[in-house]
Amino acid sequence: MPLESSPEAPLPVRSVARAIGAWVDRLGRIWVEGQVTQISARGATCFLTLRDPAADVSLTVTAARPLLDACTPPLTSGARVVVWAKPSFFLARGTLSLTAFDLRPVGVGELLARIERLRTILAAEGLFAAERKQAIPFLPHRVGVITGRESAAERDVVDNAVRRWPAVRFRIENVAVQGVHAVPQVLEALRRLDADPEVDVIVVARGGGSVEDLLPFSDEALLRAVAACHTPVVSAIGHEGDTPLLDLVADVRASTPTDAGKRVVPDVTEESTRVDQLRARARRCVAGLIDREQRGVDALRSRPVLANPSGELDQHSTAVLALRDRSRRAFGSHLAHATSDLGHTRARIAALSPAATLDRGYAVLQRVDGAAVRDPLEVEAGERLLARVARGRFPVTVAGQGGPSTPSAATAPAPGERT
């Protein structure tokens, strides 16, 4: 039941302490894992400080001396242990501690088995997948280094990087690289470097060591933090044979800190040589292109049409003049033939024309309505007709009907009838 209190009726300290002690007693005995940071013995009782490997949290453990003497190998500071203990809350001091009933050191075999289990879990989640890894920039603006203070790993990274690219800049975060403080400090340094916009790549470097020394770099919290970084991370832990899980999660694995210094920046000598080679290649390409185009221009200039441009024009001009003369002759010939045909046609028309007959002294008799008279029986006596001759026409009157009688001419033509 929750404790009831108010500003007017506050609880005394002893009541609160007793309630906390009662709640802690309900936990019973539990198994706890941690790293031993301090051991002190007082007669038959030993006191241990048990620290969480990945957080700045510790508890005091009280154990009987025979319990520690039974540990093989002997328990030392920095060792990993599993304790079967009961939490206790001391009212007088207001502190929480553990009373140990069983204590088991975690051996190297168990540590390796745990690392292997963690490897399987992270691999199933895809943290080792190649597609999630980021590429290192060709020339980083600033290199972040997480390493021990004044360590050989720091010198190897910095010296080799400066030797390859003298203008490289660093931001170095010195942290504990082994022991109980390693994981929290590395996590905090990683967070600061990942938040720095000038840092383009982060190198986590440490020299070689035993399996226990390299355990912080297989810690699950650290591995997940590296996987979540926006900045590419290079793992340079130990020697070639050391393979903490950080090597698998990091974007790039360097076999040693020296190798990391060579990987994060290009070699200025190699790049200068490459630039010179590219310049020479570009010159050769440009020279070859110019030479090829010059040969093409020379070939074009040597062609007759460009060597003597007016010669081709002269040929076409001669052809045009020949065609013009030919067209004139053809047109004159057609015109002469047409004129001759027209004369012959006119002669035939004139020969067939009634006017030629009239010119020989013949006349054509026509009725008033213009119809030609072809038969004497077609006219009546006294009918007026028109006689058409070569030089005009005049009226005549029929003297008799039928027979061989002929019309008599009028004494004078009607006005306007002679044309």
Domains and CATH numbers, the chain: 13-106 (2.40.50.140), 112-132+142-268 (3.40.50.261), 357-409 (no CATH)
> What number is the average pLDDT over the span 217-243?
88
pLDDT at 216: 85
pLDDT at residue 110 in the model: 65
> Is the model's pLDDT at 9 over the cut of 60?
yes
pTM here is 0.53
Which pLDDT score, from 0 to 100, does residue 412 have? Answer: 44
Confidence at residue 193, expressed as pLDDT on a 0 to 100 scale:
94
Give CA–CA dist 128/119, Å, rounded: 9
State the Cα–Cα distance between residues 212 and 3, nearest whole angstrom.
Answer: 46
Q: How far apart are CA 48 and CA 149, in angstroms?
A: 28
* pLDDT category of residue 405 using cuts at 50, 70 and 90: very low
Which stretches of 321-383 are assigned E, i.e. beta strand?
364-366
Q: Render pLDDT for 275-287 as a digit per residue (tens, 0 to 9).
A: 999 999 999 999 9
Mean pLDDT of 117-141: 90
Q: Which of 131-140, 212-221, 294-303 has the highest mean pLDDT?
A: 131-140
Confidence of residue 44 (pLDDT cuts 50, 70, 90): confident
| Percent of the chain with pLDDT strictly greater than 90 | 34
Token code pair at residue 260: 């990391």
The pLDDT value recorded for residue 415 is: 44
User: Residue 375: beta bridge partners?
Assistant: none
**How much is the pLDDT for 174?**
93
- For the residues 184-204, what does the mean pLDDT come to? 93
Q: What is the pLDDT of residue 418?
A: 42
Return d(Cα 154, Cα 165) in angstroms, integer. Answer: 16
- Judged against a pLDDT cut of 70, whether residue 419 lies above it is answered with no
Rounded to the nearest angstrom, the gap between the alpha carbon of residue 345 and the centroid of all alpha carbons in its chain is: 87
The pLDDT value recorded for residue 409 is: 45
In 3-state terms the chain splits into helix, strand, coil percentages (rounded to 5) of 45, 20, 35
Tokens 């790549």 -> residue: 201
CA–CA dist 386, 414 (Å, integer) = 11
Place of tokens 């190297």: 108
Query: How far separated are the first and last CA of the chain, in Å rounded?
Result: 155
DSSP-assigned letter for residue 372: B
Tens of pLDDT along 367-386? 888 888 888 888 888 888 88
Q: Quick one: pLDDT at residue 1?
A: 55
Specify the DSSP class assigned to residue 137.
P
Comparing 60-74, 120-134, 350-364, 387-401, which segment has the lowest mean pLDDT?
350-364
pLDDT at 18: 85
Instruction: Note whether 386 and 396 are within 8 A (CB).
Output: yes
Q: How far apart are CA 145 and CA 174, in angstroms?
A: 8
SS3 212: coil
- 260 vs 238, higher pLDDT: 260
Evaluate if residue 265 carries a pLDDT over 80: yes
In angstroms, the CA 242 to CA 253 distance is 11
Per the prediction, the chain carries an average pLDDT of: 84
Extract the tokens encoding 164.
């390859």
Tens of pLDDT, residues 319-365: 899 999 999 999 999 999 999 999 888 888 877 777 777 777 788 88
Q: Is the pLDDT reported for residue 38 higher than 80?
A: yes
